Chain A
Amino acid sequence: MSRKIQIKIDGKPVEVEEGSYLLAAIESLGIEIPAPCRYPFLPPRPVCKVCSVEVALKGTGPKIVESCSFECVEGMEVSTESEPAREARKKALRNMVARCAENDLLKDIAVQMDVASEIKFGKELCTCIYCKLCIRVCDELVGAGALSFKKGKVKEEEGESTPIVLDPEKCIMCGACAHVCPTDHLRLEEEHDRSMVHKDMELGPNSAISLSFRQAVPNVPRIHAEDCIHFKLGGCKVCSEVCPKDCIHYDEKDIIEEIEVGTIITATGFQDFDPTPMKQYGYGKLPNVISALEFEKMNNAASPTNGKIVMEDGTEPRSIAILHCIGSRDEHYHTYCSRVCCMYAAKFAHLVKEKTTAEVYQCYIDMRCFGKGYEEFYKRILDEGVNVIRGKAAEVIPARYGRNEEGKLLVCLEDTLIGKFREVPVDMVVLCTALESHDKASEFGRKLNISTGADGWFIEAHPKLGPVSTTTDGVFLAGVCQSPKDIPDTVAQSGAAAAQAMKLMNVGEVQMDGAYAEIHQEFCSGCKICNGLCPYNAITFEEDKKVSYVNPALCKACGTCVAACPSGAIEARHFTDDQIYAQIEGILS
């Protein structure tokens, strides 16, 4: 701890740490002095001199200093409002103003100093105030050293617009220079216009440190090493300086932990069906055709639109069509019903009715409101005035010109209840996409020795008697990885899976199956053929007796060794040779 010292600012006594900068002490009193060339994470360097104040030290007369970089000394007296101080600041401002174009920052400072009428901006076109922050940040903080001042004058007549020179070889595109530039002279220009709201929702974070999403659990930010200046060049570390609790560690690495467990609950979930290949719906091509998950994200109060339902141009839609069974109940994609879509589509309709005045059209094959309270909810949205059309949408096309539906989308479908072809003009189309098994489900299943069905969902041990267990003892299934299901069903199944797992853990030991292979050692010739066959290394050769032995705890009773034994010395309990011969005889007699 450095020593506390007493100083006086405008006659008021202030206690500060010895060696701290004067500007901080001035600001702690609520006195505002502009300091455009200051950046809190760089050591101060007086460039602009707009922060000048008058200081009287013991034994010397008053003098003008730059408060941003002047270190406090015991007993000094500071005057921020004395005439020399004000004059010094005005002079500094005039100097700065004289060599740059008109900009808001300096105008504001002039207003603050009450000299707005006196100052006159230079004839230059650029707004650089030569504060050097960008160059210093790039050199000192980032460590890239990509920026420098141009030597000589800026030749505006030759099209030059800035005194800053950027070395593209050294630049890492971190944007720090643009961030610190007080006058917005340096900017990162987007090559593409990203103003569209819907595209924004899919955009990643533009800071290298962010939450993975707003309701993430645990809700802590993560540093994206691939974007972080520190991980690129070793500098910066600004985040650790601002973190009040010292939470940021740069040396943590991704680690693979191996945990020994007795039971495993598989809850790998699903992936959202990508409707892009279904060209007839124009997803990704037509504006305002969005997937259900995107619509859900938009509805979230923490979304980029703050939960407002808007079209890409930011206006509220006046009509929305919700198309069911996109990718489900479709022979070309998934024949199964994704089960949850009808109800979330009903929820969407309800939300639209609640938040907007838009018309809602539900285009469905069948409304499957299967659960407790679900049919009632469906009735409720009907009462709210939601239009339901029985018929699967055939395609979505932009409305033709010449009709007063210009700019709208036409949903073409056959209304099977009235037996007519319809074209419904809407502003926005929401595609209720199918739930799909994970691409890597079968690869993962192989690791656990459980299999996936034709649709890619994990197969349970028995559809009625073992709906959460699998063919591998101790591995259980929970949620959509087994088949599409809604939240209540998932919670119920997860509870069952947890209970099954706890049942095993509680006992603490595993009950052996009665079926395993046994070697009748009196017949064993010691040929060792079986030893290499066992995939579980359950068979060992007893050197002293010159016979093989099956460890019943390791044996899984596949019977491969039994079939291979040339002496017929191995018996597969419950699947003995005698039993199978008897079956063959019985079946064929």
Chain B
Amino acid sequence: MSFEPRILGFLCNWCSYTGADLAGTARMKYPPNMRSIRVMCSGRVDPGFIFDAFRNGADGVLICGCHPGDCHYAEGNYKCARRIPLTKRLMKDLGIDPNRLRLEWVSASEGRRFQEVVTEFTEQLRQLGPLEMHDIKFDPSHPDPESLEGVEHA
């Protein structure tokens, strides 16, 4: 049996959750691997949620918000967009592939796009394989082994 990734999705109430709803009412098919949590805004997504999801066995986390400029709360999605790169850096430090976290803009009318995003992300995670938490060896003295490459040790 092939590996079926488990994806946790945080969908913003106004655009992406409605978009996902539209994909459903339009009977569009996408992999059942994603389970969604509705948040009022992508800006509500605390990086803590993302790490908690990985800790609880998620293989990937998908965050969907309104397109830039279309946020119901004016600029919540911008706040989210600034947090995600930082979170990805932290993931790298923790030894989690940053590709396991994805931020996408899906508007309320883009059921088709939602379908594509979920399908694509599921496929990508299938390639990456399961996230093995016990493989991750965290050494606080060497937070990012890659960044130290080529640096002369004193």
Q: Which of A471, A572, A580 contacts B37 (CB 8 A)?
A: A580
| Residue A515 lies at the interface, judged by CB distance under 8 Å to chain B | yes
Contact A559 B39 (CB under 8 A): yes
A560 CB–B CB distance under 8 Å? yes
With CB as the reference atom, state the residue of chain B lying closest to A585: B56
> A459 — which chain B residues lie within 8 A by C-beta?
18, 108-109
Does B73 belong to the interface (CB within 8 Å)? yes
Tell me if A471 and B72 are in contact (CB < 8 A).
yes
With A580-B37, A584-B37 in contact, is A451–B109 under 8 Å at CB? yes
Return A245 CB to nearest CB of chain B, in Å: 50
- Cβ A558 vs Cβ B43 within 8 A: yes
Residues of B within 8 A of A562 (CB): 44, 46
Flag whether B107 is at the interface (Cβ < 8 A).
Answer: yes
Residues in B with CB closer than 8 Å to A567 are: none
| Contact digits for A448-474, partner B, Cβ 8 Å, 1 yes 0 no | 010111110001000100000001100
Give min CB distance, B32 to chain A, whole Å.
13
Q: Counting CB contacts under 8 A, is B89 at the interface?
A: no
Complex Cα–Cα for A585 and B58 (A): 10
Does A581 have its Cβ within 8 Å of any Cβ on chain B?
A: yes
Q: Which residue among B15, B46, B74, B110 has the maximum number of chain A CB atoms within 10 Å of its CB?
A: B46
Does residue B52 face the partner (Cβ distance < 8 Å to A)? yes
Complex Cα distance, B79 from A217, in Å, reads: 47
Q: Which residue of B lies closest to A453 (CB)?
A: B109
Question: Which A residues are CB-close (under 8 A) to B73?
Answer: 535-536, 556, 558, 560
CB distance from B22 to the nearest CB of A (A): 9
Residue of A nearest to B34 (CB): A587
A563 near B46 with CB under 8 A, answer yes
A575 touching B40 by the CB < 8 A rule?
yes
A32 to B56, CA, bound (A): 105
Q: Which B residues lie within 8 Å of A558 (CB)?
A: 40-41, 43-44, 72-73, 76
- Please give, as numbers and ranges, the residues of chain A lying within 8 Å of B37 by CB-CB distance: 580, 583-584, 587
- Total interface residues in chain A, CB < 8 Å: 34
Q: In this assembly, does B35 line the interface, its C-beta being within 8 Å of a C-beta of chain A?
A: yes
| Size band of the interface chain B makes with A | 35 or more
Measured between beta carbons, the chain A residues less than 8 angstroms from B114 are none
- B40/A449 in contact, CB under 8 A: no
Question: Does B144 have its Cβ within 8 Å of any Cβ on chain A?
Answer: no
Say whether, besides A446-B70, A453-B108, A557-B40, A577 and B46 are in contact (CB < 8 Å): yes
Smallest distance from the beta carbon of A469 to chain B beta carbons, Å? 14
- Cα A93 to Cα B18 with chains together (Å): 85
Residues of A within 8 Å of B6, CB to CB, are 588
CA–CA, A533 and B35, complex, Å: 29
B69 interface contact, C-beta 8 A: yes
In Å, the complex CA distance between A562 and B108 comes to 24
A564: Cβ under 8 A from any B Cβ: yes
B38-50 vs A, Cβ < 8 Å mask (1 yes, 0 no): 0111011111110
Output the nearest chain B residue to A581 by Cβ-Cβ distance.
B52
Question: Could you say which residues of chain B place their CB within 8 Å of the CB of A453?
Answer: 108-109
Give which listed residue, B14, B41, B48, contacts A577 with CB less than 8 A.
B48
B20 interface hit (Cβ, 8 Å): no
Min CB gap A128→B, angstroms: 65
A454 contacts B109, CB within 8 Å? yes
Beta-carbon contacts of A554-580 to B below 8 Å, as 1s and 0s? 001111101110000000100101001
The verdict on B53 contacting chain A, using a C-beta distance below 8 Å, is: yes
CA distance A588 to B48 in the complex (A): 15
Given A451-B109, A471-B14, A588-B53, A563–B44 Cβ distance below 8 Å?
yes
CB of A589 within 8 Å of the partner chain: yes
Q: Which of A507-556 contact B (CB under 8 A)?
A: 515, 533, 535-536, 556
Q: Hey, what's the 0/1 contact readout for A323-362 against B, CB within 8 Å counting as 1?
A: 0000000000000000000000000000000000000000
A455 to B44, CA, bound (A): 29
Q: Which one of A449, A452, A463, A584 contacts B56 once the chains associate, using CB atoms below 8 Å?
A: A584
Over the window 74-86 of chain B, the binary record of Cβ atoms lying under 8 Å from chain A Cβ atoms (1 yes, 0 no) is: 1110010001000
Instruction: Given the known inter-chain contacts A452-B109, A459-B109, A562-B44, please indicate yes or no for A584 contacting B79, CB distance below 8 A.
Output: no
| Contacting residue for B41 out of A454, A471, A536, A560, CB 8 A | A560
**A250, B144: Cα distance in complex, Å:** 75
Cβ of A247 to closest chain B Cβ, rounded Å: 45
**A517→B75 CA distance, assembly (Å):** 17
Indicate which residue in A451, A557, A559 contacts B15 across the interface (CB closer than 8 Å): A451
Residues of A within 8 A of B (CB): 446, 449, 451-455, 459, 463, 471-472, 515, 533, 535-536, 556-560, 562-564, 572, 575, 577, 580-581, 583-585, 587-589
- List 6 additional A-B contacts (Cβ < 8 Å) besides A575-B39, A588-B56: A471-B72, A535-B73, A563-B44, A587-B37, A588-B8, A589-B57
Chain B contacts to A: CB under 8 angstroms: 6, 8, 14-15, 18, 25, 35, 37, 39-41, 43-49, 52-53, 56-58, 66, 69-70, 72-76, 79, 83, 107-110
Q: Which 9 A-B pairs have the closest CB atoms?
A: A559-B44, A560-B43, A558-B73, A453-B109, A558-B41, A535-B74, A588-B56, A563-B46, A454-B109
* A to B CB contacts below 8 Å, 18 in the list: A453-B108, A471-B14, A471-B72, A559-B40, A559-B76, A560-B41, A560-B43, A560-B76, A563-B79, A575-B39, A580-B49, A584-B37, A584-B56, A585-B56, A587-B35, A588-B53, A588-B56, A588-B57
